Amino acid sequence: MNINSNNKGGMDIRQLFLRHVAQTSPNPLGIEIARAEGIYLYDPSGKAYIDLIGGISVCNTGHRHPRIVQAIKDQADQYLHVLVYGELIQSPQVRYATLLAAHLPAALNSVYFTNSGAEATEGAMKLAKRVTGRTEIVAFDQSYHGSTQGALSIMGDEYWRNAYRPLLPGVRHVRYNDPGSLEWITDRTACVIAETVQAERGIYTPDKSWMKALRRRCDETGALLVLDEIQAGFGRTGKLWGFENYDVVPDILLLGKALGGGMPLGAFIADKERMWALTGDPVLGHITTFGGHPVCCAAGLASLEVLLEEKWMGEVTRKEALFRRLLVHPAIRDIRSCGLLMAVEFDSFETNKRVIDKCIERGVLTDWYLFAPQCMRIAPPLPITEEEIGKACEIILSCIGGS
Ligand code: PLP
């Protein structure tokens, strides 16, 4: 297809994609998407793909839920961007922050909206430094908190970190879910940043006792506990928030991905008293032009309302169990899961990639985890039905069988 008159070479859209859209992967999936609806993506020929990754834990309420699409249209009819963050009263921001606070513990009452998850991570690190007057940060091996330089500094994988040194000083990486690692949290630690589920490691959940000990150690030392729910939040684990699985409450909560209902939005959330640290000396302690964009907040608000009204969260555990029951094959070495956040482990990346490629050919979209390339990612939109799970698993098993 010659997509416009400047396209003198007559390149098709795939060639133009490879030439003009900056590439981060040497082998992008490169499927052209014509539309998306519910749990399905469609290419221009009308071929349907069951979306087993939901835009990487973004589309928890499905693609283009009608309430979200309507909220976007309604907000576009009112106003788009009006001014940098925090000056004007924009009702989608106010209403969304209010609804979030109503469904969070009392100490998480002040929402700073950002453009992305990484920017939420950055904001939280800055806030922790200001609140505590300390500079050291404790993070965990094989954690992922974003790709900007601050977030990269706390990423728990040397392969991705190393090429971009020098990074932030004062960061210590320790072992996740290891009681011994808590000793590294001291009265010099500004904050400890942990995922409630280590997703990119291939789905590792910590012990409840360890999470509680982590909370206690932070309280003893005065370090702030930052929990990253950017991937695990919004019902994916079967609870609205991942931290509810451990009976702990963070000092700062990081949200992103599903927060925007399919639009770009992140947030770091803390107590108002603490959040004041970004308001003075210097003023404007964290600045963003587009953070909390009104259309994104309107979409996110509609998405959370839908999630709270629907029964999907209550069905997560049953659907997780169904996946686990159906995905049985000698080539599957392990399945780790926390709700509909699942990793299906093979012997190698090569096996996994072969299965993934075949799945895509047969209309099931999946991929692998950043730090666990031998693990297939399963994180579908939460409304996926049992019948659709059955069909997806049948295709996966047939692709393993023939691989
Ligand atoms: N934190 C976690 C746990 C994530 O999974 C991600 C993205 O995958 C991020 C932070 C970064 O979010 P973003 O890609 O929106 O910057």
- Encode pLDDT of 2-38 as tens digits: 566 567 678 999 999 999 999 998 889 999 999 999 9
Q: Does position 326 have pLDDT exceeding 80, yes or no?
A: yes
Contacts 24+ apart (CB under 8 A), 182-185: 182/213, 182/214, 182/217, 184/138, 185/138, 185/214, 185/217, 185/218, 185/221, 185/223
Report the pLDDT value the prediction gives residue 403, as an integer from 0 to 100: 44
Q: Whose CA is nearest to atom 1 of ligand 1?
A: 145
CA 333 remoteness from chain centre: 25
pLDDT of residue 123 exceeding 80:
yes
What rounded mean pLDDT belongs to the chain? 96
**194-215: per-residue pLDDT in tens?**
999 999 999 999 999 999 999 9
Please spell the DSSP secondary structure of 160-189, one letter per residue: HHHTT-S--SSEEEE-TT-GGGGGG--TTE
- The pLDDT, as a whole number, for residue 5 is 56
Looking at ligand 1, which atom is closest to the CA of residue 121? 10
Tell me the domain boundaries of the chain.
30-61+314-401, 66-309
CA of 151 to the centre of ligand 1 (A): 9
**7 CA → ligand 1 middle, Å:** 35
Around ligand 1, the residues with Cβ closer than 6 Å are 56, 116-118, 121, 144-146, 195, 199, 228, 230-231, 256, 266
Atom of ligand 1 nearest to the CA of 143: 3
- CA 46 to centroid of ligand 1, rounded, Å: 31
Distance, CA of 129 to CA of 143 (rounded, Å):
20
What residues have CB less than 8 Å from 321, skipping those under 6 apart? none
Q: Kindly give the number of the ligand 1 atom that is closest to the alpha carbon of 200.
A: 5
| H or E segment to which residue 334 belongs | strand 334-337
pLDDT of residue 238: 98
Of 46, 37, 96, 107, nearest in space to 71 by CA: 96
Q: Which residue in the block uniquely carries the two structure tokens 């100490």?
A: 107
158 has a pLDDT exceeding 70 = yes
Which pTM does this prediction carry?
A: 0.97
**Nearest-atom index, ligand 1, CA of 147:** 16
Backbone angles phi, psi at 182, to 5 degrees: -70, -20
Q: Domain 66-309 belongs to what topology? A: Aspartate Aminotransferase; domain 2 (3.40.640)
The residues, any chain, with a CB within 8 Å of residue 222's CB and separated by 6 or more, are 132, 187
At 340-399, the pLDDT tens digits run 999 999 999 999 999 999 999 999 999 999 999 999 999 999 999 999 999 999 999 999
94 φ, ψ to 5°?
-65, -45
Pocket test for ligand 1, best of 145, 204, 234, 253 (most atoms within 8 A of CB): 145
The CATH H-level (homologous superfamily) assignment of domain 30-61+314-401 is Aspartate Aminotransferase, domain 1 (3.90.1150.10)
Mutate to test the pocket of ligand 1, among 230, 259, 368 (most ligand atoms within 8 A of CB): 230
* pLDDT in the model for residue 10: 86
Average pLDDT value for residue range 326-353: 98
Residue 251 to residue 266: CA distance in whole angstroms: 17
Cα(347) to ligand 1 centroid in Å equals 26
